[in-house]
Structure 1
Amino acid sequence: MHKQLFIVLAFVLACVNAWSFTIWQGPNKTGKYRHYFDLRAGNNCFGIDADMTSATVQSFSFCSMAWARCSITIHSETGCNGQILGSATGNAPMGEWNKDQTSPEGSRMKSFRINGCKEAPVIGNIDCQKCTNDP
């Protein structure tokens, strides 16, 4: 029984990201993009690449799988400092936040923080095609 559970967990963890955040320089997920993700449910601050922030970020997509339940905050300065421009929790069955056109303030994002992630996976119906956000 334990071996079967381990095999199922290994498959689930291998086929899906705990969280995924993709930003685009164009509205409606167009133009140059950068895809950030983590296979593990890690909590950390991530800087947005300078080549993406040299222009404005016009759209984005965030996803957190149900077993990870990660939340995100988007910040106006590097190092997750400055104003919090927006946030979303991952407490839904699959936490998704899509923005086809950012606000003028939101377009100036410089960093984001992933927090509240749970380390232990929750067994349930997990669709391996979701939460990849690969353009």
Structure 2
Amino acid sequence: MNTATARYAGHLRTEATHVASSNVIQTDAPTDNHGRGEAFSPTDLVSTALGSCMMTVMGIVAERHQWDLVGSTFAVVKHMSTEAPRRIAQIDVTFTLPATLALTERTLLERSAHTCPVGLSLHPDVRQNIVFEYK
């Protein structure tokens, strides 16, 4: 079964549908690559997927231990290469997690985050700069 189907909508945009849920996402080329920048670019999705995947894996661990991560956030900065070929050179992800987590809990969550399938699937040349803040 397909995971997603997509169609080219013209003007450097796509519309992808998640088959199981029928959720739709749109992409647009970034302004620095002939697009309007009015939606996630495909490389934005890859970068955001890294943060989402890591947060999901931490959520699995937190639920197993009954730790509350609700309200935790992450921010992503994507860095594109300056030389050809155009590609993602680095992804910075900064997580903000509850300050109430004990040191042992933080250690387990941080280690688990680095086992996420997206991070493990990215090419080794894509630098992953991951920061954990506790507030």
Does TM-score exceed 0.5, indicating one fold? no
Higher relative contact order (CA 8 A, sep 6+): 1
**TM-score normalized with structure 1 length:** 0.30
Larger Rg: 2
Higher helix proportion: 2
